[in-house]
Amino acid sequence: MAEKRFTVLDLLDLDLSGHDALHLKCIAGRRGLPRAITIPEINRPGLALCGFYEDFVGNRVQLFGRGETAYLQKLHNENSTDTLENFFKNEMPCCVFTHDLEPTEEFRALAEESCCPVLKTDLTSTEFSSRIIRVFSNIFAPHQTFHGVLVEVYGIGILLNGHSGVGKSETALELVERGHRLVADDIIEVRCVNGNTLLGRGANSLISHHMEIRGLGIINISQLYGVGAIRNQKEVQLIVQLEDWDSSKAYDRLGTEQKYKELLGVKIPIIEIPVRPGRNLPIIIEAAAMNERLKDMGYNSAQDFNQNVLKWMETGDANNAYYGNDDSY
């Protein structure tokens, strides 16, 4: 499936709020809004405005701060347009003016002529740079969709996997009932951010907090349990594989050997939990989440148990426990 193009118009249409809001508006070159943004980085074109184009990265978003805008005013006062004409010969995605600054009339005219979008924001150059890089890192991050349920249990993002009908949604519903939070049900979109962090969310934000329960139908978790029972995205830190109980399979009973599953190049711990009547899956998952938190803090219960057993055997107490002090029968 071909990757969807991300355009300047898409950048303007992003529904961002709080510390991610870019406060962008288009002030010139609207015909160029369909231009694609292919590089998730920005460039300060100071040297290019002076006529130096060696190693100029024109395929990035061009950022104009106070310095660049002051130089444009200098060119205006000198009635010099040659430099600007050469600048717009490069097909750039767009130009962004920070600090609520305005370009000169010559700059606007050349932008309109070359169909280069000119955007404006009231943010400072530093603040805008950090925000747009953060936005780009999320938009251009490698991503993949998975079938499952993503929940947050004791602060740990857990991806519940398993075949259809194994009980993923019912288990997640019980976890929500016990005070934990649902991120998404059914189709999960996972993005790899910064090369080592997997962020999961619903593939469709409109239905991600709805859940299908067989025999009951579709329920809205946020309406039933309140907004405190949901969150929009969460880092995937543990995978729980639910499967039907197989009496011929040897399941891990000690946990000394941690298994991993690779998602988008990142290794995530995975545990297999067999499902059978009478097993309390939610409390097992809660224990798994708390155990994962202990591991993050540097304590491994299984390894500690193994070390204690070895110490016990080395002291000879193990023999005494089995054979006693009297060898006669």
What CA–CA distance (Å, rounded) separates 324 from 198? 54
DSSP 40: S
Angle at 220 between CA 214 and CA 223, to 5 degrees: 145
Which of these is catalytic: 168, 209, 210, 234?
168
Residue 253 falls in the annotated catalytic set: yes
Which of these is catalytic: 5, 147, 259, 276?
147
| Number of alpha carbons in the 13 Å side-chain half-sphere of residue 221 | 30
Which of these is catalytic: 35, 131, 186, 234?
186
Residue 147 falls in the annotated catalytic set: yes
Residue 134 falls in the annotated catalytic set: no
Which of these is catalytic: 4, 19, 249, 253?
253
Kindly report each contact of residues 143-148 with a partner whose C-beta sits within 8 Å and lies 24 or more positions away, as own/partner. Answer: 143/189, 143/190, 143/191, 143/192, 143/264, 144/189, 144/190, 144/263, 144/264, 145/187, 145/188, 145/189, 145/190, 145/203, 146/187, 146/188, 146/190, 146/263, 147/186, 147/187, 147/188, 148/186, 148/188
Q: At what angle do helices 168-177 and 281-296 cross, to 10 degrees?
A: 70
Residue 168 falls in the annotated catalytic set: yes
Q: Which two tokens stand for residue 257?
A: 């050997």
Burial of 79 (0-12, 13-18, 19+ CB in 10 A): exposed
User: Under DSSP, is residue 227 helix (H, G, I), strand (E, B) or coil?
Assistant: helix
Contact 171, 80 (CB under 8 A): no
Angle at 39 between CA 34 and CA 42, to 5 degrees: 100
Which residues are marked as active site? 147, 168, 186, 253
